[in-house]
Amino acid sequence: MKRSLICVAVLALLLVPALASATLITTTNAGGNNNGGAMFDLTDISAGPITLTGLFKGVFGGGAFSTDPVTSGTVEVYYRIGSYTDSGAQSSLAGWTLLGSAAVSSTGDNTPISFDVANSLALASGETIGMFVYLDSSTLGGVKVTNASGPTTYSDAFVQLALGVSIGDTGSTPLNGAGVFGNRIWNGSIDYQAGALPVPLPGAVWLLGSGLLGLLGLRRRKVSQA
């Protein structure tokens, strides 16, 4: 009986993945301005790793006007090792890596829109990355930002965001020399979880678990028949 209980406990540990709590860190949804994109730094300030899950919220629209038009397009999220303030980071995509993209549509009323770029990114404790959120839009509008009087930070127990600048846009290519505007706060949220994402168990482990359950059932039937 004790052996059966031990087997069941081990099997449960194998078959049930560790649950991780996802958290949103949010800046503001105040709007007030917009540009083709926005840059900021994200730092893991915790004692362990964190993972950006690929889920974001952003605010998109045509600026400060109450009659903002519908904004639709493809939002692209880039990251770079280091900072958005590194030399050349605000004028060239060199050194930036595309994390992913997603289609978005907004009525421009400062309502956050959820989007999923379908890729995750792990950061080590103390690591800083620059982030660049860009809207490739065929309609009037862009990434909403809020003007600030100086550099602004948002933080919780795990993550710090240091904001930031907005990037102008004169076409479908990001960082095409349309202008950089300082002291701009990107409007949005980033979903992350403390620790690494659970690693999917290989098929062999699931087969092993199924086999153990079958053997336990067979053993119980034999004992009941004896």
**How far is residue 58's CA from residue 75's CA, in Å, rounded to a whole number?**
9
Nearest in space to 104 (alpha carbons), one of 91, 113, 117: 113
pTM for the model stands at 0.79
Higher pLDDT, 116 or 142: 116
Residue 109 tokens read as: 């009323």
Task: Give the pLDDT mean for 120-126.
Answer: 98
Range with the lowest mean pLDDT among 41-50, 165-174, 185-194? 165-174
**Helix/strand/coil (H, E, C) string of 2-68?**
HHHHHHHHHHHHHHCCCCCCEEEEECCCCCCEEECEEEEEEEECCCCCEEEEEEEEECEECCCCCCC
Per-residue model confidence as pLDDT tens digits over 7-64: 444 444 444 444 456 899 999 999 889 889 999 999 999 999 999 999 999 998 875 4
Residue 140 tokens read as: 């009037």
**How far is residue 95's CA from residue 39's CA, in Å, rounded to a whole number?**
14
Under the banding of pLDDT at 50, 70 and 90, the label for residue 195 is confident
Per-residue model confidence as pLDDT tens digits over 61-76: 875 444 456 678 899 9
Per-residue model confidence as pLDDT tens digits over 81-118: 999 999 999 999 999 999 999 999 887 678 899 999 99
Question: Which amino acid, 100?
Answer: G
Domains and CATH numbers, the chain: 31-63+70-192 (2.60.120)
**How far is residue 72's CA from residue 102's CA, in Å, rounded to a whole number?**
11
Query: Which sign, positive or negative, has the C-alpha torsion 180, 182, 187, 192?
Result: positive
Q: Is the pLDDT of residue 221 over 90?
A: no
Q: Is the pLDDT of residue 80 over 80?
A: yes
Q: Kindly report the average pLDDT of the chain as a whole number.
A: 81
Residue 79 and residue 96 in contact, taking contact as beta carbons nearer than 8 Å: yes
